[in-house]
């Protein structure tokens, strides 16, 4: 920890009535959102704007990233009723914008891509006015899986690079920095819509490494970028090396715009889906 380290960010408590209402709808459809699962500090604000992020394909990941609090282990088979349940929740919550993400499912032949497709189709039927963003895993770079989610024609495609090249093997040991770039490049070349990625800071990266990563993402075709402070979920996860002040995030945003990104959200509590509908 450095002497210029800042204290952890604080936010106002979320609206308990809005959170309770959302809980009721999610429970009625036997679902959870990433917003609730991670106790995201922005969740009430996002709900008020009519947006939420759903995690499909279960709550167990086949990978063990050192920044993520999702449990790791043997996952259950995809639930064929899940697409309709997600779509019903989107409709009942009156969402303007839905982000669909998932755990990694390296155990499945299609890596879970067909469940993404089914969810998009179900939402289009139940709530045709809702915009849909797919925040996908890397599907191990499988082009058939990538092309399947492209063909589903969401409104936006995203995949998170998360951290700089040097730290990626330690932070995402079962993923790969260059494979993530290849996924984003594949999306940018074949998808007729915006492509987004996200970075965390505070893991020990240098400013120069962050700028290099931004350039790599831009050259891969990414045009929307979010940058936020990494917060350690539990003592078992990677430690926070440094907390940055708001001025640092402002500087990163200015650099990203200078590189050429068309939309950038950069602040302490920004997460990959924060203000997704405004991009």
Element (H, E) at 113: helix 113-126
Instruction: Kindly state whether residue 9 falls inside one of the protein's structural domains.
Output: no
Domain with 243 in it? 16-278
CA-atom Rg of the chain in angstroms: 18
Position with higher pLDDT, 185 vs 23:
185
Q: What is the pLDDT of residue 205?
A: 98
Whether 183 is in a domain gets the answer yes
Q: Is 90 exceeded by the pLDDT of residue 238?
A: yes
Tell me what pLDDT residue 3 has. 37
Q: What is the mean pLDDT of residues 61-67?
A: 91
Pairing of strands 156-158, 195-201: parallel
Q: 28-37, 83-92, 203-212: which range is least confident on average?
A: 28-37
Domain presence at residue 91: yes
Residue 94 lies in a domain: yes
Residue 7 lies in a domain: no
Q: Nearest 5°: CA angle at 40, between 34 and 45?
A: 105
Is pLDDT at 164 greater than 60 in this prediction? yes
pLDDT of 1 higher than 50? no
List the single range of 9-13, 174-178, 268-272 with lowest mean pLDDT: 9-13
CATH number at residue 248: 3.20.20.70
> Is residue 40 a part of any domain in this protein?
yes
Q: Which of 35, 5, 51 is nearest to 271 (CA)?
A: 35
As for how many domains the chain has, the answer is 1
The more confidently predicted of residues 278 and 258 is: 258
Q: Residue 13: pLDDT above 60?
A: no
| 139 CB neighbour count, 10 Å cutoff | 25
Across 128-140, average pLDDT? 97
Whether the predicted pLDDT of 2 surpasses 80? no
Write out the H or E segment, with its range, that includes residue 273: none
* pLDDT (average), residues 258-275: 89
Q: Among 52-61, 190-199, 238-247, whose mean pLDDT is lowest?
A: 52-61
In the chain, the percentage of residues whose pLDDT exceeds 70 is 87
Does 209 fall in a domain?
yes
Residue partners of 4: CB distance under 8 A and separation at least 6: 242
CA angle 33/184/219 to nearest 5° reads: 135
Is residue 44 one of the residues assigned to a domain?
A: yes
At residue 8, the pLDDT reads 47
Per-residue pLDDT band at 162 (split at 50, 70, 90): very high
Mean pLDDT score of the chain: 89
Would you say 260 and 254 are in contact if contact means Cβ atoms under 8 Å apart?
Answer: no
Over range 24-28, report the average pLDDT.
Answer: 83
At 174-190, the pLDDT tens digits run 999 999 999 999 999 99
Query: What pTM was estimated for this model as a whole?
Result: 0.90
């Amino acid at each position: 920890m450095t002497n210029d380290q800042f204290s952890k960010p604080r936010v106002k408590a979320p609206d308990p009535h809005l959170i309770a209402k959302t809980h009721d709808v999610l429970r009625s459809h036997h679902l959870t959102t990433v917003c609730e699962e991670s106790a995201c500090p922005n969740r009430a604000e996002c709900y008020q704007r009519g947006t939420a992020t759903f995690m499909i394909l279960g709550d167990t990941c086949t990978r063990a990233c050192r920044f993520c609090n999702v449990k790791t282990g043997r996952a259950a088979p995809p639930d064929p009723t899940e697409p309709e349940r997600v779509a019903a929740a989107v409709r009942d919550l009156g969402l303007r914008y839905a982000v669909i993400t998932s755990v990694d499912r390296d155990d499945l032949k299609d890596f879970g891509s067909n469940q993404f497709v089914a969810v998009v189709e179900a939402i289009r039927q139940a709530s045709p006015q809702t915009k849909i963003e797919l925040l996908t895993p890397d599907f191990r770079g499988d082009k058939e899986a990538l092309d399947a989610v492209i063909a589903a024609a969401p409104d936006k495609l995203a995949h998170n690079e998360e951290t700089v090249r040097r730290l990626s093997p330690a932070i995402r040991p079962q993923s790969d920095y260059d494979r993530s770039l290849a996924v984003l490049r594949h999306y940018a070349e074949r998808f007729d819509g915006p492509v987004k990625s996200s970075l965390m800071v505070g893991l020990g990266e240098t400013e120069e490494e962050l700028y290099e990563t931004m350039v790599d993402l831009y050259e891969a075709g990414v045009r929307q970028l979010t940058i936020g402070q990494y917060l350690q979920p539990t003592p078992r996860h990677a430690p926070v090396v440094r907390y940055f002040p708001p001025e640092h995030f402002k500087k990163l945003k200015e650099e990203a715009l200078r590189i050429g990104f068309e939309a950038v959200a950069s602040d302490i509590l920004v997460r990959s889906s924060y203000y997704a509908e405004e991009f």
